[in-house]
Amino acid sequence: MTASRTTLALLLFAPLAFFAAFFLAPMAVVAISSVTTSDGALTAAHYARVLLDQYHWDVLWVTFRIALATTAICVLVGFPLAWYLVRIVRWRAWRRACVILIIVPLFTSNIVRSFGWMVLLGRTGLVNQGLMGLGLTERPIRFLGTETGILIGLVYILVPFVVLSVGNALAKIDTVYEDASADLGVGPARTFWFVTLPLCLPGAISGAIMVFALAVSAYVTPALLSGGQITVFSMLIFQQYSTVFDFHYGAALSVTLLMLTLVLVSIAGRIGDGGRRTA
Amino acid sequence: MIARLLIRIVALAAMAYLVLPLVVIIGASLTETSYLAFPPEGLTLKWFGVLFEDPSYVSAFVTSTLLALAATAVAIVLAVPASLALARYVFAGREGVSALLLSPLVLPYVVLGAALLQYGSAIGMARSFEALLVGHVIIVMPFVLRSVLPLLTPEQRALEEASMDLGAGPLATFFLVVLPQIRGGIVSGGLLAFISSWINVELSIFNTTAALNTIPVKMFNYVQYTIDPTIAAVSAITIVVAALVIILLDLLMGLDMLSEPHRS
């Protein structure tokens, strides 16, 4: 018993020490400086500044609006794509190629992916050329520096998460349930609505919440596609640490973003677990 | 039938949307013009040559690669014992330890980057390779942990006990019995770890300087002011690296996770 306790301590010592030194300690420094002044006295002023300033509420509202729209579009685009890959594609090589193509963007930095859209969405970019060629617009539409531009970039980056989580859920559904429903004379639309959808809903919801959390904390994509015209929450944090050098106030902003993300992720975890238990 | 057709159309449009930017970047990196053009005007590899003659790009490539390799190596050394502890022992706080070690997966990287800068300034480590390295180890370790843990099954445990019963010491058992069985998880987790470090901007940006820069941060700073074919060439290289890693992963563990719905 003592021998196994020693082994356990030996196994866990290095990883826990590393996390304590370079993860918990830095986060503690941030948490402490968010509630202290530069002299070390306790204060709630930084949080008051975050919560009472109308500008922050505007930025939060923009961040939330973009994240919500991103999530909705990701689900609307990702669900059919997942369905197509799991249920419609019969040719394995094509499905495999599609899965690889969906993952390649995930393995490419946000910079590269956003940069692609900077090129595509410019005044003379391919998208405007296409729209004008089709006669859908007379003059080039301005995408860069607008919420639409950020939205296109964020959906692009986050839609693979929905496809993979919905796809995994769909692939796990035993088709006997749907067959049974069809045998009992239920039409395909009702079978989808009452049988298939509830079975893959946990996957879809946890995917959607992940997307929302990632969209709320996104920095690179909004920074590149906003052209300095639109500010989202993570940009405020970066400003405090890189140009304003107000670490206390920056810390309060960081803790706010962290709390927001943790709440969302734990909700997603609950839903994911619930799905597993009932499945 | 109409629903099926609609799904097909949406899905193919979505695939086109996912592939388009990558095609545009690779295409634009081959243009002969000094401005970015897609479709490319003429075909040339000269922009890749320009990159390799620019010492700041070369050093950023070296920094990024060393950083990703070092972070992956340290993460493996820390994650393997941690997964053994989590898989083999029941102890108070086990859930907490596993939640702690996996939490960087959901942490906003901007927050951790800012924290490491602030903490680093306090202990005299800010804006150094070490500061970058510890942050990258923290964010990539969960990938190794997650791919090794599922391989430490009860069946694998039985082999471990057999080895001990036959008189092998704990170290011999680890290297001769356990390690060969979790090698696949270490390799695939390591590849995920490498690529996550290699593409990171949000964490690195706080601790990089003009002299100590990683490729993604350098690109980020560059793209905000200028767009030209060199940046398309760097991007094209990172896309190729990503594609190679994915093909490796596919060969190692098979990425066909969305295969046919199974019937019981």
Q: What domains lie within chain A, and their CATH numbers?
A: 74-278 (1.10.3720.10)
Residue A175 C-alpha, separation from nearest chain B C-alpha, in angstroms = 6
pLDDT: is A233 or B254 the higher one? A233
Domains along chain B with CATH numbers: 15-253 (1.10.3720.10)
Residues A83-106, mean pLDDT to the nearest whole number: 85
Nearest-Cα distance to chain A for B14, in Å, is 7
For all residues of chain A together, what is the average pLDDT?
84
Of B10, B14, B110, nearest to A234 by CB-CB distance is B110
Residues B120-176: pLDDT tens digits? Answer: 888 888 888 999 999 999 999 999 998 898 888 888 888 888 888 888 888 888 888
Q: Say whether A29 and B122 touch across the interface (CB within 8 A).
A: yes
* Beta-bridge partner residues of A36: A42
Tell me the per-residue pLDDT of B189-198, one tens digit each, with 9 for 90 and over: 898 899 889 8
Is residue A117 a contact partner of residue A153, using CB atoms and an 8 Å limit?
yes
Nearest chain A alpha carbon to B197: A109
> Across the interface, which of B232, B238, B261 has its CB nearest the CB of A175?
B261
Q: Which of B85, B110, B247 is facing A219, going by the closest CB pair?
A: B110
Q: Between chains, do B137 and A262 touch, taking CB under 8 Å as contact?
A: no
The per-residue pLDDT for range A47-71, each reduced to its tens digit, is 888 788 888 888 888 998 999 999 9
Share the mean pLDDT of chain B. Answer: 85
Q: Which residues pair with A42 in a beta bridge?
A: A36
Q: What is the predicted ipTM?
A: 0.84
Is the CB of A219 less than 8 angstroms away from the CB of B141? no
* Percentage of residues of chain A with pLDDT beyond 70: 96
